[in-house]
Chain A
């Protein structure tokens, strides 16, 4: 059978992930241990969950720069609820609701004020972070019931609980994108907003909904982060927005909108997770890790662009 070079290029992120996996298995004896793999899963779960939400936002041609701050605010308020004595499930739900509210507000501002998402969410980045600091007086929330640790560190049937959460979220987001009206509209809005308006699609409603969904997933990520740290940190999540965007982009999402997929984003996030884990195992300094990950982002997008140009 002839190998289609285009198909090969499309699978490139996936093949890179596999190559990275095999390479690291050979390079370090510690890599392929249950302990290490579980820790990779736990480390990447936060970014992965955020990146799923970012995928839908980016597909509509938007961006949410405030997710790092939303993560901090949601994690903090969720932790406060736990501190106040509410059960773990309620605390997590509070975090998700706070995230949803923040995302909803972003969407509302973008669609009502008709200001570019970049600007609105850049402003929101400061507002939500400031709100978290004001609310906590800059101090972390510590008195959290030990049971909460299960969310970020526990295991179910021998598999990290966060991985279950991630798989469930990924399946839901995938179904939403490929099999629901909302997903179809997200692609349409990102591909051609004017044509979508002219086709009678309620563009503002769906745009707002997409940011709210992104916020909900970020809220969940915030609770995972809080559970891993066992504190509600008002400063949690700083700079995470760039990690989330990078995962989407490495996975083939286009910042111009209309392109992106759950599978691509997961691969993108795992590539970044493995790179960072591998660098730790191989004793590569933190400083170099940043250079390597940055280069990978540019390389991945370059290859993807070359593929798209050829297809044209």
Chain B
């Protein structure tokens, strides 16, 4: 159905794609694998008409095509479900489904009822939990993806590209997406699926293609290849496919949360302790309140009752500024929105939380700034030309390193990591874990929120689980062995059955 041969693409002086090859047939889910920067996104943007190729050929049902815009791609039946949703939040579900494809009528008149009814029909046909009149801005990330899928169906697409659809979804939502993907497949649609989550590959994929450094390195049937071999092809070297760290005996309590509740974000009676040298894991479904807890501790959201203690004394944190001054760091789940000033150089980002350290009487010492930042980059094996490079030009993993560097530069003592490995490749994940371990070794207290249970199992010293705004349980390591995924999920899934008395 779709065939790409020797596709090349350069952006300025950078070769994003040297030798892109891909062959996808109808009724299959084709996994596109590779580290960040391997060229997956570029290849998919070429297929979806977002960027044009420099050379090579793209055959669609046997005929050479050259797409200049997403609408040209949509016209021949290719659509993309985006990692970051491209919908109009102030319009309804139905309006978004039809956006750009409204029926042509005199004066551009739109028949609202007709649009809603048609949308309802599509939604019903696939059994999606969506209301056509709901505002897209009020939907969860999963809901927005469903709207994008409806759009693609409505536009008569026969090839759908999913770019990391589950990176921001909870496990139940992920299962829902899988069900939909299988359903679309059974209706004869071809699906290209990009993911970084190794645990979900086999639940969904039929065949796979691996890109590395802009070229295809391997393709085949998924069932024929073991996972460690897949990873080896992706990274091009041997990697322990599971990260292991030494678990130390924790020291004294650094930060304590006592009976904390919030009004707006509905946290209820949260108590926890973060200790020196310990990585405390935090599991839970999306919406369980994990991000909200980080925000409350960090002074973003107001605490209504309860308190946060630092070194045994009330901390009185009312703003992020108070938190930063008290030595708390928050690595947010969305680094592009709240972690980095993308337009500014790496050095400006690294020093952002502690400009005082490089200034005297309000004047900056740029020489010492550049030296300190260059050294910091080196210890973190940051891949950048220099610290003057724009933070926005870095890969996801390197951007995350800059965010962490910002807090190292601040010499924070308590680290709240909210989904620290989201959207970064395997190699960079390991490096992030190594940084976290090193921090713990040096005596930092760390809270690590993650939706990837395997990560928590390997990195965390103990795991707290949240459910519906409360802490539903704590799972310690027993004789060095981490709690099982079943144990965690049992505490995470909301249920009406007995035996879930909140801690």
Contact with A along B193-236 (1 / 0, CB 8 A): 00000000000000000000000000000000000000000000
B324 interface neighbour in A181, A188, A194, A199, Cβ under 8 Å: A199
Which chain B positions have C-beta within 8 A of A196? Answer: 341, 352
Q: Contact mask B344-383 → A, CB, 8 Å, 1/0?
A: 1000100111011001001110100000000000000000
Residues of A within 8 A of B359 (CB): 180-181
> Which of B300, B332, B351, B366 sits near A179, CB closer than 8 Å?
B366
Supplied contacts A181-B362, A188-B352, A192-B342, 18 more A-B pairs, CB within 8 Å: A179-B366, A180-B359, A182-B362, A187-B348, A188-B344, A188-B348, A191-B341, A192-B343, A197-B320, A198-B320, A198-B339, A199-B353, A200-B320, A200-B321, A200-B410, A258-B343, A258-B344, A259-B343
Q: Separation in Å of the B379 CB from the closest CB of chain A?
A: 21
Number of A-B contacts (CB under 8 A): 80
Interface string of B432-461 (1 = CB under 8 A from A): 000000000000000000000000000000
- A23 on interface, CB distance cutoff 8 Å: no
B406 at the interface (CB under 8 A from A): yes
| Cα distance A221–B431 in the bound complex, in angstroms | 54
* Nearest-Cβ distance from residue B154 to partner chain A, whole angstroms: 31
CB <8 Å contact, A202 and B321: yes
Chain A contributes a number of interface residues (CB within 8 A of B) equal to: 24
Determine if A198 and B343 form an interchain contact, defined as CB atoms under 8 angstroms apart: no
Taking CB atoms and an 8 Å cut-off, the chain B residues in 370-417 that contact chain A are 406, 410
Are A199 and B342 in contact, CB atoms less than 8 angstroms apart? no
Interface centre among B337, B339, B341, B342 (most CB of A within 10 A): B341
Q: Could you tell me the distance in whole angstroms from the C-beta of A271 to the nearest C-beta in chain B?
A: 24
A185 at the interface (CB under 8 A from B): yes
The yes or no answer to B323 lying at the interface (CB within 8 A) is yes
**B401 smallest CB distance to A (angstroms):** 15
B residues near A188, Cβ cutoff 8 Å? 341, 344, 348, 352
Report yes or no: A200 in contact with B339, Cβ–Cβ below 8 A.
no
Name B50-67 residues within 8 Å CB distance of A.
none
B484 within 8 Å of A (CB atoms): no
- Please report the C-alpha to C-alpha distance between residue A161 and residue B351 in the assembled complex, in whole angstroms: 40
Contact A195 B338 (CB under 8 A): yes
Q: Decide yes or no whether A184 CB sits under 8 A from chain B.
A: yes
Contact B364 A181 (CB under 8 A): yes
Q: Which residues of chain B come closer than 8 Å to A7, judged between CB atoms?
A: none
- Asked if B406 and A179 sit within 8 Å, CB to CB, the answer is no
Q: Nearest CB to that of B360 among chain A residues? A: A181
With contacts A179-B363, A181-B362, A311-B12 taken as known, whether A195 is within 8 angstroms of B320 at the C-beta atoms is: no
Per DSSP, are chain A's interface residues mostly helix, strand or loop, or mixed?
helix
B330 located at the interface, meaning its Cβ lies under 8 Å from any Cβ of chain A in the complex: yes
| Most interface-central of A185, A195, A201, A202 (chain B CB within 10 A) | A195
Is the CB of A310 closer than 8 A to any CB of chain B? yes
Residues in B whose Cβ lies below 8 Å from that of A199: 320, 324, 352-353, 406
With contacts A181-B359, A188-B352 taken as known, whether A198 is within 8 angstroms of B364 at the C-beta atoms is: no
CB distance from B96 to the nearest CB of A (A): 25
Chain A nearest Cβ from B61, distance in angstroms: 33
Q: Complex Cα distance A191/B406, Å?
A: 16
Query: Which of B340, B342, B343 is most buried by chain A, counting CB atoms within 10 A of its CB?
Result: B343
CA distance A188 to B338 in the complex (A): 12
When distances are taken between beta carbons in the complex, the residues of chain A under 8 Å from B319 are 197
Hey, what's the 0/1 contact readout for A190-224 against B, CB within 8 Å counting as 1? Answer: 01101111111110000000000000000000000
Query: A188, A191, A199, A258: which has the most chain B beta carbons within 10 Å?
Result: A199
A202, closest chain B residue (CB): B321
User: Given A185-B355, A195-B352, A310-B12, are A200 and B363 also a contact pair (CB < 8 Å)?
Assistant: no
Contacts of B353 on A, CB cut-off 8 Å?
199-201
* Chain B residues whose CB sits within 8 angstroms of the CB of A258 once the complex forms: 341, 343-344
